[in-house]
Amino acid sequence: MGLEIEGEGATVKQYNGFDDAIVGIGRRCGEPEMLIYSEDKVITILMERDGMSREEAREHYLINIREAYINEDTPIFMTDKEPET
């Protein structure tokens, strides 16, 4: 994806199979850098890759991915903003 992580020996936690859902890197003072994933893109990947319906993919995402705590550098999931009408 071409993201550049700053700092010597810097690493970020990453979910396998969801590289196409990465939208950026989150930074907060005094905290490790974290990947930011698009919620909508994660759900789309689950639908396409695993053959889930949208409802199944959303439920799987909410229970097994978004709520999975790894540690203080657990990736961030971004809810995509709805287009303004």
Count the neighbouring beta carbons within 10 Å of the beta carbon of residue 21. Answer: 24
Q: Is residue 22 part of a domain?
A: no
Q: Is residue 25 part of a domain?
A: no
Q: What pLDDT, on a 0 to 100 scale, did the predictor assign at position 83?
A: 57
**Helix residue ranges per DSSP H, the chain:** 39-50, 54-60
User: Can you give the pTM of this predicted structure?
Assistant: 0.79
Q: Is residue 49 part of a domain?
A: yes
Q: Which neighbouring-strand residues pair with 22?
A: 37
Q: Is residue 41 part of a domain?
A: yes
pLDDT tens digits along 30-65:
888 889 999 999 999 999 999 999 999 999 999 999
Q: Is residue 24 part of a domain?
A: no
Q: Is residue 70 part of a domain?
A: yes
Q: Is residue 23 part of a domain?
A: no
Q: Determine the Cα–Cα distance for residues 37 and 46; give it in Å rounded to an integer.
A: 13
Structural domains of the chain, count: 1
Q: Can you give the residue range of the structural domain that contains 71?
A: 37-78
Q: Determine the Cα–Cα distance for residues 13 and 57; give it in Å rounded to an integer.
A: 22
Q: Is residue 26 part of a domain?
A: no
